[in-house]
Chain A
Amino acid sequence: MTQASVLKNLDEVRAMIKRHKLNDYIFAIVGLIALMIGLLTLLTLFIDLVMDGFERFSLEFLTNYPSRRAVNAGLLSAWVGSLLVMVVTFLSAVPMGVAAGIYLEEYAPKNWFSDLIEINVTNLAGVPSIVYGLLALGLFVYILDLGQSILTAGLTLGLLILPVVIVATREAIRGIPVAIREAAYAVGATKWQVVSQHVIHYSFGGILTGVIIGMARALGETAPVITIGALTFIAFLPPSPVTTEPPFLNFEWLSSGFTVLPIQMFNWLSRPDHAFHVNAAATGALIIVVTLLMNGTAIWLRYRIRKNIKW
């Protein structure tokens, strides 16, 4: 081979390497753009909502009942309803989910029975939310006769976020080294003492993360709550849960009619009058801020736990 042809060959190889390196570079940019689409959408969405709904940002918007006139309409019954529904959701999903997670991680024998439960949890996570609404409509509203109440909505959303809480609990527990448990057993603790005094204690942060994410999801869910027949025009508040006379607690609010933030937004959005769309935008901005804050807290919490705990 002559020197010239070797050099020519080398040039070709160099050109090829250059070309491939360029491909690398191009793909890195394309990939970054693809990822940014998500972020940019979120930003556009938020800016769009804030700009459209800007004129409604005022205290009256939070203290007024819905109204036929868009300018006077407010979110009072919606945010109170959301808050009360979330209380029921929290009280039903968290104890149940954490207990189920503990059972599956700490107690369940490895057999078909545990497999069955596991498959069910995985499957439930993939069931469309509106199907939970149908379940609630058939079971809670009519068979158990709970009516179209705050209790029904809270239980429905509780079932919906149950898989989220279970999975988070299991993952948090799985991260705890066996040595912690063995140490407790070695000084004579029973299984429940090990679980309640050590396992729950150490997995608390992880469970909290899952609970916050679940609650944020429940807050934004619309379809199941519409399906059970929540009313969209509510100009009253449920009876107060706290009273001035003994026994100071009142449970009538559980069976009260209600509306929630996303349903109020959907209702305003489906009206042809543009003035109501402004209300919908303001509501949307509020929902986004609250859910992003909740999810952000959860993600930050998880990050901190990962960083701080070194077993």
Chain B
Amino acid sequence: MATQVLQNPLELPISARLAKNLKRNFVERVIEFMLMLAALSAVATTLAIVFVLIYESFAFFEHVSIVAFLTDTQWTPLFEDAHYGIMPLVAGTLTTSIIALLVAVPIGTIGAIYLSEFASHKTREIVKPILELLVGVPTVVFGYFALLFVTPMLQKIFPGLPSFNMLGPGIVMGIMIIPYISSVAEDAMRAVPMSMREGSYAMGATRFQTAIRVVTPAATSGIVAAYILGISRAVGETMVVAIAAGQQPNLTFDPMESAATITAYIVQVAMGDLPHGSIGYQSIFAAGLVLMIMTLVFNILGHLTRKKFREAY
């Protein structure tokens, strides 16, 4: 046997050598194909999401006209007197998201400028992992925080505040997306070439002047992308608003009131036991479709802006 192994392969007949290669190539092809199937699962998931949402929404829009869906000011699919106007849910979603942004944009931007331009290497090494840890905290826990910590605290400042309101969860959602905005905006600022900073320092500018007048303008599109991706997160956030903002659809932009968001409505319906195929069951898919479109628009806008700053240098 040993002599056979040591035999010079070139002495084998050509057909034997080719046969072996064929088998080897075949195995390689099969493996490549299987890996490709795995990669295609991403495409399949997207298609499945789109299919399920549109399929069930179609059934929903057989009962409800699109005009009523978009213009009716009440959302009461589970009541005797059913109304199917998505506006109250969209208003709730937008209000909580806007509060979240009002909290997250200033703090996140200042944090990003500090991290990118002021912090020493050591500080950055410590702070960045902590920010990552904050991203990993489950949102249901933040919901607890909004309902039983932030809202009671706000009630001391605004005595009339109901225990379910949009202000508390909005603020908590803002805190949740600060790390996200900080890290994306910081990436954009660090991508600004060193020579631009050096030019500014050479003119006698301080760090603060350089950061505000040179680095920030140069990184604008990246920072804006961070904001847009932050909005998308806030719009899709579920547990915080489902726990702390209330379950009553309410067409208002007043943060002191209680209102359901699109996501909170879906959770509310899913908690109850609605029969498959009922209009209430279909309504959560229609609401989900609206949510999906909203986040998709923000995500695409965000990625386009982000791409732009990558190409700039």
Contact = CB atoms under 8 A, between A and B. Distances in A.
Contacts of A292: 133, 136-137
Contacts of B236: 127-131
Contact of A299 (B41, B110, B132, B182): B132
Secondary structure type dominating chain B contacts: helix
Interface size class of A (residues with CB under 8 A): 35 or more
A156 to B, nearest CB: 11
B238 interface: yes
Interface in B36-63: 36, 38-43, 45-46, 48-49, 52-53, 55-56
Contact of B138 (A20, A41, A291): A291
Contacts of A24: 206-208
Contact of A42 (B39, B134, B288): B134
B149 to A, nearest CB: 5
Interface string B185-200: 0000000000000000
A135 B288 CA distance: 10
Contacts of A117: 39-40, 42-43
Interface string B257-279: 00000010011001101001000
Interface stretch (A60-68, A69-77, A96-104, A242-250): A96-104
B118 A31 contact: yes
A78 to B, nearest CB: 12
B1 to A, nearest CB: 21
B141 interface: yes
Main SS of chain A's interface residues? Answer: helix
Contacts of B243: 266, 269-270
B159 interface: no
A103 B39 CA distance: 7
A145 to B, nearest CB: 11
Nearest to B284: A134
Interface in A141-174: 142, 159, 162-163, 166
Contacts of A284: 140-141, 144
Nearest to A138: B52
A162 B288 contact: no
B141 A45 contact: yes
A227 B141 contact: no
B139 A220 contact: yes
Contact of A266 (B31, B134, B140, B235): B140
Given A23-B206, A52-B148, A120-B46, A99 B140 contact: no
Contact of B35 (A37, A100, A134, A277): A100
Contacts of A226: 267, 270-271
A220 B39 CA distance: 26
Nearest to A222: B140
Nearest to A107: B32
A221 B39 contact: no
A213 B136 contact: yes
A229 interface: yes
Given A30-B110, A227-B266, A295-B136, A192 B295 contact: no
A34 B55 contact: no
Nearest to A196: B31
A286 B29 CA distance: 47
A49 interface: yes
**Best-buried of B48, B134, B141, B179 by chain A (most CB within 10 Å):** B141
30 contacts: A24-B208, A27-B114, A28-B114, A34-B111, A34-B114, A38-B130, A45-B142, A48-B145, A99-B38, A103-B32, A103-B38, A120-B45, A122-B303, A123-B46, A123-B296, A127-B49, A128-B236, A129-B236, A132-B49, A133-B270, A159-B45, A192-B27, A192-B28, A222-B239, A223-B239, A223-B263, A228-B270, A262-B239, A265-B140, A288-B141
Given A166-B42, A191-B28, A291-B136, 20 more contacts: A24-B208, A27-B208, A31-B113, A34-B108, A35-B114, A99-B34, A100-B35, A103-B38, A108-B36, A108-B39, A123-B46, A128-B238, A131-B291, A133-B266, A135-B45, A142-B276, A227-B266, A262-B140, A269-B147, A299-B129
Interface of A: 20-21, 23-24, 27-28, 30-32, 34-35, 37-39, 41-42, 44-45, 48-49, 52, 95-97, 99-100, 102-104, 107-108, 116-117, 120-124, 126-135, 137-139, 142, 159, 162-163, 166, 190-192, 213, 216-217, 219-223, 226-229, 232, 262, 265-266, 269-270, 277, 280-281, 284, 287-288, 291-292, 294-296, 299, 303
